[in-house]
Amino acid sequence: MVSAERIARSMGGRKTLGKDVRSELQLHDLIVEGLPAAILDSLVKNKLITKKQIESIVPRRTAGRHKASGKRLNAEQSERIARVVRTLEYANKVFGNESKAQHWLHASNAALDGKRPIDLSTTETGARVVETILTRIDYGVYS
């Protein structure tokens, strides 16, 4: 699995989140509090997620209002962002290379009925399916 510290670092760390995150409980508390809207720009800038993918989680106008006012995302939006980042980081760990992980995440996958893993990662159930496949790849069970 991927540590809360690694997820927080991928989301911009202390600079973007406003605090250090060293445990799953601290990550949980941050998600419940709501991630800062500035995280959306950080994720796109670091090429972790595309604007289109973000807009499927947080509508463009909502994101714009939140960024302009300094308002935080709600807990549901924050959870979805954290889930996608967790999946991305797990893929990076499994493939040992960000480029290979990004390619796998954005390619249609026969084991997912032709769907792209990154698209499934926005729901809890979809993320679990993707994580199961990644675990199998990691253990050499799935080709």
pTM of this structure: 0.89
Rg of the chain over all Cα atoms, to the nearest angstrom? 15
Domain boundaries, the chain: 4-138
Residues 7-64: tens digit of each pLDDT: 999 999 999 999 999 999 999 999 999 999 989 988 888 888 888 888 888 999 999 9
Mean pLDDT across the chain, nearest whole number?
92
Residues 88-141: tens digit of each pLDDT: 999 999 999 999 999 999 999 999 999 999 999 989 999 999 999 999 999 998
The three-state DSSP-derived secondary structure of 20-56 is CCCCHHHHHHHHHHCCECHHHHHHHHCCCCCHHHHHH
pLDDT of residue 51: 87
Task: Report how far apart, in Å, the C-alpha atoms of 30 and of each of 59, 78, 95, 141 are.
Answer: 21, 9, 28, 35
pLDDT of residue 80: 92
pLDDT of residue 50: 84
pLDDT of 72 over the 60 cut: yes
